[in-house]
Structure 1
């Protein structure tokens, strides 16, 4: 197991419930969040940066301030949500380091850092922790791969900065790979990705749900004691709740929920946003918290 430093342990406490389970509202999406605002007069493409920033601030006010932690981006949300006093002092801040989109090299996807944003920047923005996303195909990427090198480097940089790093992994279907072959390989790809990240020093993981209780057990074994949280991947709330029940029973350490909480609770109207987030998204968060803490 990759041991947490003292300051990293404090950060883990900050992003967890009183029972010690990770529970983070994910709101670092940019284009994905725009697409969730269905009632924009001229479509999501016409939503300005300022309008998106206002939506993110309301999401924090009416939803995330009721959670242990919120994941936000440094391109739209930060530093304003901290500087304007929107973020509650009782809600920890996780700063997303990954830029939107990806590049493809030799058939493999690679994410990029937000330009100019480093572990030091995340700390200066008020972050208790940082999160970085990597696309992985561990059947084609080993310890000498670009992604492995990037994970090792960022783990070391964050530890030197005294910043807890959450390593997010997304596996994906290769060009020319059949749906059947990918579906069959998916659970093992999630587990092998976890093993790769742990071998590169990762101390906290954010992973896709591997599809079954057996898959969860394989991921927990691959993580070798490193805590891992399940990401919602855009599924509906009811589906995610059941995934979390299975995952927590099989050794997962928590949940990081984004669209499953708020994808149908955003509006171009601030008044409508407040109503939807309060009456629809917040009860979902409370139900999720109860499931996360029930193990």
Structure 2
């Protein structure tokens, strides 16, 4: 197990429920968030940065503040929600370092940092914890690969800053790989990505649901004591809470939910947005917390 420093333990506590499980509302999406703001008069492409910033502020105000932590981006949401006092004092701030999109090199996908972002900048923005996304194909990348070097470098830099880093891993289908081939490989890709990330020093993982109770147990084994949280990956709420229940029962340490909570609750209209977030998204968050803490079994 990759041991946490005292400061990293404090960060871990800040993003966890009273029951000790991670629970983070993910709201660092940019283009993806525009895409679900269904009432834009001329479509998502017409939504301005100011409108998106307003939506993110309301998402914090009416949903994120009810969670232990919220994940936000440093391009649109920050530093506004901190400077204007929108973010509640008891809600931890996780700052995403990854820029939208990715580069492709020799058939492999690589994310980029938001320009100017460093562990120190996370602190300057008021962040308690950092998050970085990497795309990984462990059947094509090993401990000597570029992605492994990037993970090791950022883990080291964050530790030096006293900042807990959540390492998010997404596996993906290669060009020329059929859907059936990818589906068959998917559980092992998630499992082996967890193993690679931990070998590179990762102390907290954010991973896709690997598909079953058996695969979840194998992820836990591969993580070797490093806590891992399930990401929602755009599935609906009902599907996600079932996945989370299975994963937590087999060793997962919590959940990080984005679109499964709010994808049908965002709007350009502030009035509609508040109504949907409070009557639709917030009850979902409360249900998810109960499942994460083992107080409710998802049916």
- Rounded to whole Å, the distance in 2 between the matches of 1:178 and 1:52 is 36
* 1:123 positional shift: 0.7
Distance 1:229 1:217 in 2: 13
Q: Which residue of structure 2 aligns with residue 40 of structure 1?
A: 40
Distance 1:162 1:77 in 2: 23
Shift of 1:82: 0.2
SS in 2 for 1:131: strand
Quote how far apart the aligned CAs of 1:265 are.
Answer: 0.1
Q: How does 1:46-195 map to 2 (within 5 A)?
A: 46-195=46-195
Off by >6 Å, runs of 4+ in structure 1:
none
Return the offset for 1:76: 0.2
Q: Distance in 2 between matches of 1:224 and 1:20?
A: 18
Secondary structure class of the residue paired with 2:116: coil
Once the two structures are TM-superposed, the CA of residue 166 in structure 1 deviates from its matched residue by: 0.1
Task: State how far apart, in whole Å, the 2-side matches of 1:36 and 1:117 are.
Answer: 27
**2:178 & 2:104 partners in 1: Cα distance?**
19
CA distance in 2, matches of 1:17, 1:268: 31
TM-score, with length taken from structure 1: 1.00
Three-state SS of the structure 2 residue aligned to 1:78 is: coil
Task: Give, in whole Å, the separation in 2 of the partners of 1:124 and 1:61.
Answer: 21
Instruction: Give the aligned partner of residue 15 of structure 1.
Output: 15
Q: C-alpha displacement at 1:134, in angstroms?
A: 0.1
1:119, CA displacement in angstroms? 0.6
CA shift, 1:142, in A, is: 0.3
Q: Counterparts of 2:145 and 2:170 in 1: how far apart (Å)?
A: 16
Whole-angstrom CA distance in 2 between matches of 1:280 and 1:162: 37
DSSP 3-state at the match of 2:20: coil
Where does the alignment leave 5 or more consecutive residues of structure 2 unmatched? none
Give secondary structure in 1 for the equivalent of 2:95: strand
Number of residue pairs aligned between Structure 1 and Structure 2: 295
For normalisation by structure 2, the TM-score amounts to 0.98
SS of 2:206 mapped into structure 1:
strand
Residue in structure 2 matched with residue 212 of structure 1 by the alignment: 212
What per-residue deviation string (whole Å, max 9, x for no partner) do you get for residues 102-139 of structure 1? 00000000000001011110011000000000000000
What is the rounded CA distance, in whole Å, between the counterparts of 1:214 and 1:293 in structure 2? 20
CA distance in 2, matches of 1:150, 1:55: 32
Q: Unaligned 5+ residue runs, structure 1?
A: none
Cα distance in 2 for residues equivalent to 1:33 and 1:179: 26
1:285 aligns with 2:285: yes
Q: Distance in 2 between matches of 1:42 and 1:180?
A: 37
* 1:189, distance to aligned residue in structure 2 (A): 0.2
Q: Deviations for 1:226-266, whole angstroms, at most 9, x for unmatched residues?
A: 00000000000000010001000000000000000000000
Q: Deviations over 1:53-73 (max 9, x none)?
A: 000000000000000000000
Any idea what the Cα deviations from partners look like across 1:61-109, whole Å, max 9, x if unmatched?
0000000000000000000000000000010000000000000000000
